[in-house]
Amino acid sequence: MLDYHLLDALLTVEREGSFEGAARVMGMTSSAVSQRIKLLEERIGAVILNRNPVGPSEFGSRLCRHVEQVKLLEETFIGANRRNFRAFDGHPVEIKIAVNDDSLSSWFLEVLQPCSQSDRCFLFDISLQDQDHSIEQMKSGVVLAAISSIKKPVQGFTSHYLGKHVYRATASPAFVRHYFKDGVTFDALKDAPSLRYNGHDDLQQQWLHQIFGKKHKLPSCMLPSSFGFVNACLKDVGWGMNPSSMVDHHIKAGELIELIPDATLDKILYWHVSRVVGDTLSKVTDKVRNVARKHLAQDQNAMSVKNLAKTG
């Protein structure tokens, strides 16, 4: 049997990122936390925590998500039998989810806003992850739910359509005057600095291929911030692919220019959630979908998908 007393120490170290941080949260010494991790590894017979830098191994991440699942199932059971748990003082359950920065900056915060007492049952540990790559965090057991541009869910997850995130290629009037004197052509774009979120970000390449049918390595500035993207465009740093909801008012005010009017790049988003805790997180899923309908372009023909393969 797994010792959840020890597993809780592992989960706390993962969330705090260090033995010292976990010790503060748990009210004990760093040495005591380290001893719990060591004892857990000895009982399991596997390395569950990397020491340099401190963080769970791939198997350790799966153990952390298992602990979260157990806590969520426990919360569901207690909630359904509340009158039999008069002495129980429930605490919010933490859930690790992956969300892309564009969604977090433009609409997802409304999901986190508590609207009822039931919303306060959960605390969210959000991992910023590109929508095209969050599927890997689900496969490796790093998160229990995620926003993804991939429709097909991984083993043991359910996928729900959210809508289309509309992106516009935008830049400041001064930037356009300087780099696109003769229009926004493929050759002009090869020389104009672009903005890139990180090494995985290829939205500008996708847009380039969509418009011109070909790609090219673009000069770019790395800027890992959705709000930073918009501000960098306003300050003439480069051109970027920005969510319509974050730049439309700047375009209307003449502060930004869409490089090719209405030549948008649409990214379809899906909400993936582990089937093990799907019922427990059903209200969270409903809220994610409802908020998405308000802010994302919709396709009425889209449907939810299930991967019915057995877990584990």
Confidence of residue 86 (pLDDT cuts 50, 70, 90): low
Q: Model confidence over 24-42: pLDDT tens digits?
A: 888 888 888 998 999 888 8
Q: Is the pLDDT of residue 57 over 50?
A: yes
- What is each CA distance from 179 to 127, 234, 236, in whole angstroms? 36, 15, 11
Compute φ and ψ for 275, nearest 5 degrees: -70, -25
User: Burial of 262 by CB count in 10 Å (0-12 exposed, 13-18 middle, 19+ buried)?
Assistant: exposed
Out of 39-43, 59-63, 217-221, 249-253, the most confident range is: 249-253
Instruction: Give a yes or no: residue 250 inside a domain.
Output: yes
**Confidence class of residue 121 from pLDDT cuts 50, 70 and 90?**
confident
- The pLDDT of residue 8 is 85
Query: Tell me, what's the pLDDT at 15?
Result: 85
Q: pLDDT value at position 267?
A: 93
Is residue 305 one of the residues assigned to a domain? yes
Residue 170 lies in a domain: yes
Contact (CB, 8 A) for 168 and 258: yes
Going by their DSSP bridges, the two strands 194-196 and 220-222 should be labelled as: parallel
Q: Please report whether residue 241 resides in a domain.
A: yes
Gap between the Cα atoms of 11 and 296, Å rounded: 34
pLDDT of 270 = 96
How many structural domains are present in the chain?
1
187-224 pLDDT, tens digit each: 999 999 999 999 889 999 999 999 999 988 899 999 99
Altogether, the residues listed in the chain come to a count of 312
Average pLDDT on 248-261 reads 97
Domain that holds residue 234: 92-312
Mean pLDDT of the chain: 86
Q: Is the peptide bond before 53 cis (omega within 30 degrees of 0)?
A: yes
14 within domain boundaries? no
User: Rg of the Cα trace of the chain?
Assistant: 23
Model confidence pLDDT, tens digit, residues 159-178: 999 999 999 999 999 999 99
In angstroms, the CA 123 to CA 95 distance is 6
| Structural domain contains residue 125 | yes
Angle formed by the axes of helices 30-44 and 4-16, to 10°?
A: 120
Which range has the worst mean pLDDT, 52-61, 88-97, 98-107, 289-298?
88-97
Beta strands in 86-216 (DSSP E): 93-99, 122-128, 145-148, 157-171, 194-196
What CATH number did the domain enclosing 145 receive? 3.40.190.290
The answer to whether the beta carbons of residues 143 and 61 sit under 8 Å apart is no
Q: What angle separates helix 58-80 from helix 4-16, to the nearest 10 degrees?
A: 110
